[in-house]
Structure 1
Amino acid sequence: MKDVLGQAIHDYQYKTAPGKLWIHNQYGPKEPMPVAAYFRTEDDMPDLEWLALNECRGKVLDIGAGAGSHTLELQQRGYDVTAIDISPLAVEVMHQRGVKEAHVGDIFTYQEQQYDTLLLLMNGIGLAGNLLNLERLLIHLKTLLSQGGQLLFDSSNIAYLYEGKLPDTGYYGNIMYQYEYKNQKSEWFEWLYVDMHTLQKVATATGWNVEVLYEDDFEQYLVRLITL
């Protein structure tokens, strides 16, 4: 499988003739994805991400860490933090940027140790892909938490994309995407945006208690999940 996003992150870090990263979707024309967003500093992070970082405690696992910006901020604050990403090129960039513990890993099979905080930002929970896999993921993440540990992530309700005409079948937050970079395209992949009501149902069914930490006028939110 082509590591298209990882290549874009790698080129940006090493200034190797970086190109424009595009995201193809099912609902409209392709959209540019600024690679610089993966390299943001604390000053560039939105309030939701600030709050999430402030709520971290103990030993932290940053899941789908990308270029490692959140990991680096936590590291600077003195946290014992580990970053994982499925992209080998992204992990190489994290090491180059100074992340002490960065590993290539698939969160669905990752079981190295237990943590006090599991962190998935920039809609990182979307890697579940669909609601069935969200259930699988939430069940698996329990095994990675120490007693009293927490899961922090953000997502949003994207019903507005459909302008009042939600699809007749399937969950409307289940989107197909494809990356394009320097004439290379990734495979199409599923990405999930889960609205608050649906999340509450799935989380409760899989044994979690949901605490809403932040929600804005656009139905983007940050939650803390703790096992029941």
Structure 2
Amino acid sequence: MKDLMGKAVRDYYHNENPEDLQTETSISELDELPVSYLFRDFSRMNKIEQKALKLAQGKVLDIGAGAGSHALYLQDERNLDVTALDISPESIEVCKLRGIKKAVAENMLYFSEGTFDTILLLMNGTGIFQSLRVIDIYLKKLYGLLNPKGQILIDSTDILYMFDADEDGGVYIPAEGYYGELDYIVHYKGESEDPIKWLYLDFNTLKNAAENNGFKIEKVLQEEDSYLAKITKR
């Protein structure tokens, strides 16, 4: 992994000629992602993020922490014990420089530093599951990281709206696999990451997967095609 997302985060933090990230998926064209978006404060976060941060409590694990904006808010404004976790070493270095006391560069599947009262997976957090074929592996890992009365706060987007519809309202979706399984590619300063698997889940599909792995789930907030879910142990 070239860690282009991390390089962009580092460049922005150190003011070393940062450029916008470019992202694309297997069903969408190139899109600009300003790196500044990853450094936004609470007032500039969307309603789903704000709701999740208000619900967070106890000892918190922020999975896919990026530049650390969620973790920093919970640590500094809510005085919670937060660990920022991201697979990007460059991003985690910036998390530390921004003042996050606990920041770990690791794949969540191999992370084993305790259990937590709240686990956050935000900014289309289901993406980290990659595919329905391996989602059980991730959910079992989350089950082991969660305290008995803990909560997982996770968001996603039902991307059915991105597919063409016929005159009767039927939607043309791929014949093979689940329509939310995409290839996701990041570009930065003329370099490109290898495509990674990214999973967008409609709520009912997430509900079925969660319940099959010993969880209860409720939808906390719906914003257009996106939602925030709260998952707890049964």
Task: Report the TM-score when normalising by structure 2.
Answer: 0.94
Residue type of the alignment partner of 1:219? D
1:224 matched to which residue of 2? 230
Matched, 1:173 2:180: yes
Stretch of structure 1 that moved more, 118-127 or 57-66:
118-127
* Distance in 1 between residues matched to 2:225 and 2:194, nearest whole Å: 29
1:100 matched to which residue of 2? 101
Residue type of the alignment partner of 1:57? Q
Matched, 1:201 2:202: no
1:36 Cα shift?
1.3
1:11 matched to which residue of 2? 11
2:79 matched to which residue of 1? 78
**1:181-211 per-position Cα deviation (integer Å, ceiling 9, x unaligned):** 0111101101110001111111111111001
1:136 Cα shift?
1.1
Q: How does 1:54-69 map to 2 (within 5 A)?
A: 54-69=54-69
CA contact (8 A) 2:19 2:35 kept: no
Q: How does 1:1-228 map to 2 (within 5 A)?
A: 1-76=1-76, 77-163=78-164, 164-216=171-223, 218-228=224-234
* Distance in 2 between residues matched to 1:183 and 1:225, nearest whole Å: 40
* Distance in 1 between residues matched to 2:6 and 2:68, nearest whole Å: 12
* Distance in 2 between residues matched to 1:151 and 1:29, nearest whole Å: 32
Once superposed, what is the RMSD of the aligned Cα atoms? 1.0
Unaligned runs of 5+ in 1: none
1:219 Cα shift?
2.4
Runs of 4+ with >2 A deviation: none
* Distance in 1 between residues matched to 2:35 and 2:186, nearest whole Å: 12
Stretch of structure 1 that moved more, 74-83 or 28-37:
28-37
* Distance in 2 between residues matched to 1:68 and 1:125, nearest whole Å: 18
Does the residue aligned with 1:108 lie in a helix, a strand or coil?
Answer: helix
2:168 matched to which residue of 1? none
Does the residue aligned with 2:109 lie in a helix, a strand or coil?
Answer: coil
Stretch of structure 1 that moved more, 22-31 or 179-188:
22-31
Does the residue aligned with 1:131 lie in a helix, a strand or coil?
Answer: coil
1:20 Cα shift?
2.3
Does the residue aligned with 2:173 lie in a helix, a strand or coil?
Answer: coil
Unaligned runs of 5+ in 2: 165-170
* Distance in 2 between residues matched to 1:46 and 1:28, nearest whole Å: 22
1:70 Cα shift?
0.4
* Distance in 1 between residues matched to 2:43 and 2:49, nearest whole Å: 11
CA contact (8 A) 2:219 2:229 kept: yes
* Distance in 2 between residues matched to 1:34 and 1:135, nearest whole Å: 33
